[in-house]
C-alpha cells in the first residue's frame, strides 16, 4: 500500500488509479483538473511512490526528498515567464531522459502547467513520448489539458481531477489543526484552492496580502493621489514577500548543500537545477503576490457591492470584515472591473510594467463618477 498516496485528500478515484499505477507504471500521465484541486500534491506523492523502495512509505530518504521536490532523479519543469521553452524541455527532459539517472532507480519528469509548452517544446517532448526510455515516467499537470496537442495527449494516460468543494477544503484544514474561522476564510478567499488555502490558514503571515489590499483600497478611495499610494503599497508588500521567500528557500537548501558537500558531478548538477528552479520561483513569487493582493482587493470591493444590495455576511468573501461604508458602490463597481482587467492583463503578458498596470486600476477606483 502506498501511504503517501493515501494521504492525498479528496480525489478518491484519481488517487485509486495512481495507487494501481505505481505497481506497473505507464511511461506518461496527464493529471488534468482545475487549479487547486490537488494535482501538485498528488503528483508529489506519486513521484515519491515511484522512487521509494516500499512504494511510498512517506518516511524514507527517497520519499522525503521527493515530497520536498528535491530528489536528484526528479526533473521538474515549470513555465519561465509565460511559456515553457524548447531549450528547457531539451535540457531538462530530452537529454536527461536518455542518460543514466543521477541515483540508481527511476527518473521522473514533472511538467507543471503543461498547457504552456510552446509548440517547439511540445514537439521535443513528443520525441521522448514516442521513444520513452524504460526507466522514465513523465507527469504532465494541467488545468487546461484540452489545450495540449492531441499528439501529446494521445500518448499519455489522462487522470482527471475534479474541483474541491469549499466545505471539503475547510474540513481538511480543520483536520490538520487549523482554527475553524481561519479555515473558512482561507477556503473562501482562495475559491477552494487547497494548496493556497493551506498556506493562508497556517502561515502567520498568511493574511498579510489581504491587509495590504485593505490599506490599498482605503488609500485609493481617497482620490488619485491615494491611488498612486495604493500601487506603492501593493508593490512594497510583494517585494517583502519575495524577500521572505528568498530567506525561506535559502534555509531549505542549506542542509541539502551540506549533505551533498563535495559530492560528485551528478549531484552538483542536481543541486544546480534546484537552485535555478528556486531563483525562478522567487522571481515569479513577486508577481504572484501582486495577483493575490489584487484578488483580495477585488473581493473587498465585491463585498461592498453585495452588502449594498442587502447581502449578509454569509455571502461575503471576507465574512470577518465590515465593508467600508465610505466607499461608494459606484466606485466599488468600477474598481472591481478595473482590477479584474488588470489581473487578466498581468497574467497574459509577463512583459507589462506591473506598477503602471496597478496604478491604472486604482485610478479607476479613485475617479469620481462621471
By the criterion CB under 5 A, which residues form the site for Zn ion? 52, 57, 60, 63
Least distance in angstroms from the C-beta of 149 to Zn ion: 35
Q: Which is nearer to Zn ion, 54 or 127 (CB)?
A: 54
Q: Which is nearer to Zn ion, 12 or 53 (CB)?
A: 53
Least distance in angstroms from the C-beta of 6 to Zn ion: 13
**CB atoms inside a 10 Å sphere around CB 95:** 12
- Max distance between CA atoms of the chain, in angstroms, equals 69
Q: Which is nearer to Zn ion, 59 or 151 (CB)?
A: 59
Least distance in angstroms from the C-beta of 21 to Zn ion: 17
Least distance in angstroms from the C-beta of 52 to Zn ion: 3
Q: Which is nearer to Zn ion, 47 or 238 (CB)?
A: 47
Q: What is the dihedral of CA 25, 27, 30, 36, to 10 degrees?
A: 60
Closest CA to 211 of 319, 151, 296, 126: 296
Least distance in angstroms from the C-beta of 63 to Zn ion: 3
d(CA 52, CA 23): 12
* Cβ–Cβ < 8 Å for 299, 340: no
Q: Which is nearer to Zn ion, 57 or 126 (CB)?
A: 57
How many residues make up the chain in this entry?
Answer: 370
Least distance in angstroms from the C-beta of 48 to Zn ion: 6
Q: Which is nearer to Zn ion, 60 or 163 (CB)?
A: 60
Q: Which is nearer to Zn ion, 5 or 153 (CB)?
A: 5
d(CA 296, CA 317): 9
Strands, DSSP E only, in the chain? 28-32, 74-77, 107-111, 136-142, 157-160
Phi, psi of 149 (to 5 degrees): -60, 140
Least distance in angstroms from the C-beta of 190 to Zn ion: 30
**CB atoms inside a 10 Å sphere around CB 27:** 17
d(CA 364, CA 128): 49
d(CA 270, CA 285): 22
Least distance in angstroms from the C-beta of 328 to Zn ion: 58
Can you read off the three cell numbers belonging to residue 280? 525562478
Q: Which is nearer to Zn ion, 15 or 194 (CB)?
A: 15
Least distance in angstroms from the C-beta of 53 to Zn ion: 7
Backbone CA torsion sign across 118, 119, 120, 121: positive
Query: Mind giving me the DSSP string for 3-25?
Result: HHHHTS-S-HHHHHHHHHHHHS-
Q: Which is nearer to Zn ion, 5 or 338 (CB)?
A: 5
Amino acid at each position: 500500500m502506498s501511504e503517501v498516496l493515501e494521504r492525498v485528500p479528496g480525489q478518491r478515484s484519481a488517487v485509486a488509479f495512481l495507487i494501481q499505477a505505481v505497481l506497473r507504471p505507464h511511461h506518461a500521465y496527464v493529471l488534468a483538473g482545475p487549479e487547486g484541486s490537488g494535482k501538485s500534491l498528488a503528483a508529489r506523492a506519486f513521484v515519491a511512490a515511484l522512487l521509494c523502495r516500499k512504494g511510498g512509505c512517506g518516511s524514507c530518504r527517497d520519499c522525503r526528498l521527493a515530497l520536498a521536490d528535491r530528489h536528484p532523479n526528479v526533473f521538474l519543469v515549470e513555465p519561465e515567464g509565460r511559456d515553457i521553452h524548447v531549450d528547457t524541455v531539451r535540457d531538462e527532459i530530452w537529454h536527461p531522459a536518455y542518460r543514466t539517472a543521477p541515483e540508481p532507480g527511476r527518473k521522473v519528469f514533472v511538467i507543471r502547467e503543461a498547457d504552456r509548452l510552446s509548440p517547439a517544446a511540445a514537439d521535443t517532448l513528443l520525441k521522448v513520448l514516442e521513444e520513452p526510455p524504460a526507466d522514465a515516467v513523465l507527469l504532465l499537470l494541467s488545468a487546461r489539458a484540452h489545450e495540449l496537442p492531441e499528439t501529446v495527449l494521445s500518448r499519455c494516460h489522462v487522470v482527471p481531477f475534479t474541483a474541491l468543494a469549499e466545505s471539503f477544503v475547510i474540513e481538511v484544514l480543520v483536520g490538520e489543526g487549523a482554527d475553524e474561522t481561519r479555515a473558512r476564510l482561507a477556503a473562501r478567499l482562495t475559491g477552494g484552492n487547497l494548496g493556497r488555502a493551506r498556506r493562508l490558514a497556517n502561515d502567520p503571515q498568511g493574511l498579510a496580502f489581504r491587509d495590504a489590499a485593505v490599506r490599498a483600497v482605503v488609500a485609493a478611495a481617497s482620490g488619485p493621489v491615494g491611488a498612486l499610494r495604493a500601487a506603492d503599497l501593493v508593490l512594497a508588500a510583494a517585494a517583502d514577500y519575495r524577500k521572505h521567500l528568498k530567506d525561506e528557500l535559502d534555509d531549505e537548501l542549506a542542509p541539502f548543500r551540506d549533505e551533498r558537500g563535495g559530492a560528485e558531478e551528478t549531484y552538483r548538477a542536481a543541486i544546480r537545477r534546484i537552485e535555478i528552479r528556486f531563483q525562478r520561483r522567487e522571481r515569479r513569487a513577486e508577481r504572484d503576490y501582486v495577483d493575490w493582493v489584487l484578488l483580495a482587493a477585488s473581493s473587498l470591493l465585491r463585498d461592498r457591492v453585495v452588502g449594498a444590495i442587502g447581502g449578509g455576511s454569509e455571502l461575503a468573501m471576507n465574512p470577518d470584515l465590515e465593508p467600508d461604508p465610505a466607499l461608494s458602490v459606484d466606485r466599488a463597481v468600477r474598481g472591481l472591473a478595473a482590477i479584474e482587467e488588470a489581473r487578466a492583463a498581468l497574467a497574459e503578458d509577463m512583459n507589462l510594467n506591473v506598477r503602471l498596470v496597478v496604478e491604472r486600476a486604482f485610478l479607476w477606483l479613485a475617479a469620481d463618477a462621471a
